[in-house]
Structures are given as C-alpha cells and as structure tokens.
Structure 1
Amino acid sequence: MSKLIVDFDSLPTMTGQNLGFTDYRQISQEQVNLFADATDDHQWIHTDPQRATEGPFGGPIAHGFLTLSLIIPFWGELLDVEGVTTKVNYGLDRVRFTSPVRVGSKVRMQATIAEVAEVKGGAQIKVNATIEIEGQERPAVVADFLARFYK
C-alpha cells in the first residue's frame, strides 16, 4: 500500500475514504519486554515465555496497549496531510481488544476516515482503525482514533 498524501483543504471531502492496509509488522518477545519495562507491566502472560506456554493463550501475548500503540506508526504508513503546521494525536473515542496477539504474530492496520470536523484553527478526523492478525478472522484491536491538523 502506498501512502495517500493530501492537502489540508481536501480533508472535508474525505469522509468515508478507505485508506487501505499497512504492511505487516511482526511482534517480537524483545518488543513485548521493552514495552513491559516502559509501562512497568511485567505480567507473566507477556514476559515469561516458558510459563506462558501453560497459560490460557498457549504462549506469551503482546500487551493490548502495545498493540494499540502501533496505530501511530501504522497511521504514518497510510496518510500524510500537507499544508499544515502541526499534526496531533488527539486521542481515542472507542477501543476494544477483541483478540490476543501471540508473540511472533504479524499484525497490520486497516483504516477508514469516518468523519471530518472543523475545529478552531484546523480540522479533526475520526478514523475507524482495525488492527488485524495475519491468518486470524478476529482482529486484535478495533478503535476510533482522533487526529487533528492545524494550519
């Protein structure tokens, strides 16, 4: 998938625009361990591969918030807005962790612009983002992501 590059003034016309899929990224145990260190969340289902094989998921899984945080680098693969001075991750309206991501799995994101709204000095977009796991029917994360662009 190639990144869509648009001018700020064209944002209002993009409601409903499917941005397609990102490339896949593999989730490694090292990445999970670094996230555990950064967030002080060292639960064994994430950080103890041997014990996790006997747990409910048959092996270690990524933190849900690690998978969610991939929205940011994935987002950069899908869209760039030109003609702005500032781009802001404004937050999330809704998030669901619908399936665990086993370490070693590959994930990618599909995104659709759900709505575009004017805000003081710029525009806000709501993006329906789905992070899916390669070879699995149920996605890992379904979220409504908010981004703002200021002129």
Structure 2
Amino acid sequence: MLEIERKFLVKSEQFKTEAIRKIRIKQGFLNTDKDRTVRVRIKGEIGFITVKGESTADGVSRFEWENEISKMDAEALLKLCEKGIIDKFRYEVEVGNHLFEVDEFFGDNAGLIVAEVELKHPDEVFEKPSWLGEQVTGDIKYYNSQLSKKPFSTW
C-alpha cells in the first residue's frame, strides 16, 4: 500500500495521440489535513474512496489505501466534501515498461496538465517521453488536494 511516483508538468499535447485510454474524473476531499487526505472520486461509472498518508520529505512515496464504492455512494459523498471539486480528463499512455497517467484539468484548474508515473522503487529508471516537462514531484501545490483549495487559475 505504499505509492511511489514521480510527477511532471506536460509541455505539449502530443500525449493525446499516444493515449490508450481517456476517462473523465470528478473528485473531492472529505479531509485535506497534511498528515492524511480522504478523497472521493468518480472515475467513469465507478466510485472510489481513498486515504493517503503524509508524503516522504522528497514527495516520492506515501501510504495509500483505496476501495471501490458505488457511483451513487460517491455522488452522495461528494456533496459532503470540502469546497473545490476537481474535474479532469485522465489519459493513460504506455511508455516503455511504464504507464503514465496524464491529467488535463478543467474549471478553476484549466490550463494545467500534469503527468504521473508509478514506480516499484524510488530510484527506478524509466523512459521519459518527449512531451514530459519539468519534474514537480514533492511540490505540494500540484497535489489535487491543494488544487481544490488553491486552483491553478489563482497562481
């Protein structure tokens, strides 16, 4: 249940032509404490509830627990979430032996595109596609929980 990932800005929309999947995601946060976040998400037609722990100092890893719930339950829980619902498209792009998840945000976060790649260990080597930009791993302003409070449009 340890999540290890690197996060990057995206410098072109070329990833869209390489994507193997695209899905709409709507999510909110029941709790955005720095030690733990509790997220409610609707991904397509499926709901999820996720608890994430505090990130390591470098932002590369943290505890994550996720469980599927019904879409109806997720819709009800979204009404209880803190202000600032996240709305985005997620593109899945296979690059070498890794899957990049590229999030294109809408609403108050429109214009922001962020890519994440999950790793097996913090120092794992992975192929970087040409559309990948600056690494922002560990920069909390790019965490979805923070984007819900201080959206990209206010920077």
For the criterion TM > 0.5, the same-fold answer is no
TM-score by length of structure 2 reads 0.30
Bigger proportion of residues as strand: 2
| Higher Rg of the two aligned structures | 1
Bigger proportion of residues as helix: 1
TM-score by length of structure 1 reads 0.30
